[in-house]
């Protein structure tokens, strides 16, 4: 059993654990790195420090991942008392309840971001009976964003979630609740055709990810029978 000193030490480490962002803290624009990328980096640093019992590892240099961004450099130039004016957010996809029979969401990595507000607006609205099939593509199980949120969403009668992991190949390493809805490798033509064919109503596809991912998905969807008027590419 853990003695009192050990319990205090454990509690101290838990208080230092990074806090996972809420879905509402994501801007939904698919930016990279996303706030969840930063969270996972800090979590990995915390886990390494905890494993070695070395808190000095938590005081490394802050990430400079935005240092080349135009907005980041602009913000860095601010001084106390400066005034900034904002416009937006902007976007070309406008969702209306029950506008589509089913939404097929194909997201790679932080491409999950714009799917979240659409999905949540559907499940928050008892009058919206749109079906949703969401497919998230990630490198590893640990790298899946918003696990808790997606698990909660999948409990709704009209929502299904699937995952495609490119750097794993063993279902035995996954929790039981993920084994039946996880594929390994990459999201390719055969799986797209299977997904489209399993949709409960004619789907409208939403795609967000890297330029290469988006281009591939657009081609696969077209081959699966969905025309350009049945897809939106973020």
DSSP string, 130-197: -EEEEEEEESSSTT-TTHHHHHHHTTSTTEEEEEEETT---GGGS-HHHHTTEEES---HHHHHHHHH
Which residues are part of a known binding site for FAD? Answer: 71-72
Residues 6+ apart with CB under 8 A from 39: 18, 19, 20, 21
Which residues are part of a known binding site? Answer: 71-72
């Amino acid at each position: 059993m853990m003695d009192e000193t050990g319990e205090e030490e454990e509690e101290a480490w838990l208080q230092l654990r990074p806090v996972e962002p809420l879905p509402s803290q994501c801007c939904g624009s698919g930016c990279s790195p996303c706030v969840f990328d930063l969270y996972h980096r800090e979590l990995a640093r915390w886990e390494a420090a905890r494993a070695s019992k070395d808190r000095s590892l938590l005081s490394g240099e802050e990430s400079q991942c935005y240092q080349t961004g135009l907005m980041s450099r602009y913000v860095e130039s601010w001084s106390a008392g400066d005034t900034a004016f904002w416009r937006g957010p902007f976007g070309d996809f406008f969702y209306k309840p029950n506008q589509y029979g089913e939404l097929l969401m194909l997201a790679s990595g932080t491409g999950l971001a714009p799917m979240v507000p659409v999905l949540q607006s559907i499940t928050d609205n008892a009058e919206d009976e749109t079906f949703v099939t969401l497919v998230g593509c990630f490198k590893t199980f640990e790298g899946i964003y918003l696990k808790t949120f997606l698990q909660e969403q999948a409990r709704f009668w009209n929502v299904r979630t699937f995952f495609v992991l490119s750097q794993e190949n063993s279902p035995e390493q996954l929790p039981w609740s993920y084994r039946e809805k996880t594929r390994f490798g990459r999201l390719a033509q055969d799986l797209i055709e299977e997904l489209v064919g399993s949709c409960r109503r004619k789907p409208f596809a939403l795609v967000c990810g890297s330029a290469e991912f988006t281009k591939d998905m657009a081609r696969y969807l077209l081959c699966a029978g969905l025309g350009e008027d049945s897809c939106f590419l973020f």
